[in-house]
Structures are given as structure tokens and as C-alpha cells.
Structure 1
Amino acid sequence: MSEKVVIKVNDNGSYRITGDVELIDAEGNVYETKKSFSLCRCGHSENKPFCDGTHRRIEFKSAPRAT
């Protein structure tokens, strides 16, 4: 049985992905990932789709909550 995948929405930051997942672009190309990685949510990363920490520099603000 495979490990449960967890996606955490970080306040004012990235999506943190933990678990065994495959990340694929729109053309079907597979990104190389580790067991834990972060995806950009602010849209300003120079390493999209991965987070490079730019959200801190631009003071990205978002703290959604599940209802």
C-alpha cells in the first residue's frame, strides 16, 4: 500500500507536498521530485512550479481555511 499524500497550504506561502506523488506538466512531462517539496502559490517563483521563497520577499498574503 502506498503512503498517504498530504498537501498543506502554508499561510502566506507555498503548497507543501509530502508523499509519493508524480508531478506532470501540461505536455505530459514528469518533473523530478523528492518525497517532500513545495509548489509556488504566489506566482513569482523563478523556479516554477516549485517554490523558491520569493513569496517572503514580495510579502505574499493568503491564509485560506477549509470550511
Structure 2
Amino acid sequence: MPNDPDAEARRVFLERGGPVLVEGPVEVVLDDGTVVRSDRFAVALCTCRRSRTYPWCDTSHRRREQRGPEERAPVEGDRPDRR
């Protein structure tokens, strides 16, 4: 359970302009409630939504010039900017 004080913490690494790296194994709950699992020792989670293997990163973020937040097209499910 997420709030279990005895649960082992997962280490997450944030990569600027890249994926989120998570020590595995992991389960990811998608927007539609689908659960996907990876038993690998570490996984890269896509944050740009360009990956053909979403939610897993396939390095698609490297193939295109990255746009700033003001130029980025909105993605379904994104939260509005809170400035």
C-alpha cells in the first residue's frame, strides 16, 4: 500500500528533458486505469508522450527539438499552468 510505513521506498531519478528513471520493479497505473508492470531493475518512464511504447521511454524525446512550455501543444489530461 502507498501509505504503508514499512514499505520499501522506490528511488526516482528526474532527468531534465528526458524520462523519469525509477528503480524497479514497478507498476504504472495509466489514465484509463490500466495497470502495466515491469520487473526490470530500473525503468525509464516517458514524460514527453512521444514514445511508441508509452508509458515506457523509447528515447523519442531525443529525435525532435524540444519546445518550451509556452510552445508546447497541450496534452489530454495535462493540468493548466498555475502561475
Query: Normalized against structure 2, the TM-score is what?
Result: 0.58
> 1:55 is matched by which residue type in structure 2?
H
Larger strand proportion of the pair: 2
> 1:37 is matched by which residue type in structure 2?
V
Residue of structure 2 equivalent to 1:58: 64
> For 1:6 and 1:61, how far apart are their aligned partners in 2?
28
> How high is the sequence identity, in percent, across the aligned residues?
29
Size of the alignment, in residue pairs? 62
Question: CA RMSD of the aligned region, Å?
Answer: 2.3
> 1:8 is matched by which residue type in structure 2?
F
Structure 1 unaligned blocks of 5 or more: 63-67
Structure 2 unaligned blocks of 5 or more: 1-5, 69-83
> For 2:22 and 2:58, how far apart are their aligned partners in 1?
14
